[in-house]
Amino acid sequence: MAEGVRTGRRQSILNTDGQPHPVENAMTILVLVSGLVSFVLGLVVRNAHTGKAAIIIATVTGLFALLVGLYIQMVSSTRNQRVLIVAGIIAGLAIGLSKGGFTP
């Protein structure tokens, strides 16, 4: 009957090992969000032909997602964290860096 007892503590979807990882979870979400921002800005730059500022912002957020994502990938603890990290890295690289980076 012990499996029916709840501890009252909610487990995050990223903490599948039962241990709290607040810093790793925050970095995982940060990489995912910055990768998606880079992806969306890259789409805007590609389709709307905006100025150099949007290209540079898309590049910076894509590089941030890549570099921080590679580090946090090595120190991540759970599979769910790694899945979101790779999604953020790929989103940042896909279109965010496709316009040539800092040399538009």
Q: What is the pLDDT of residue 56?
A: 85
Q: What is the pLDDT along the chain (104 residues), one digit of tens a residue?
A: 555 555 556 677 887 888 888 899 999 999 999 999 998 888 888 888 778 888 888 888 989 999 999 999 999 989 999 999 999 999 888 776 676 665 55
pTM for this structure?
Answer: 0.82
Q: What is the pLDDT of residue 46?
A: 80
What are the residue boundaries of the structural domains of the chain, listed by start? 21-94
Q: How many residues does the chain have?
A: 104
CA distance 102 to 83: 28
- Which pair of tokens denotes residue 104? 């538009």
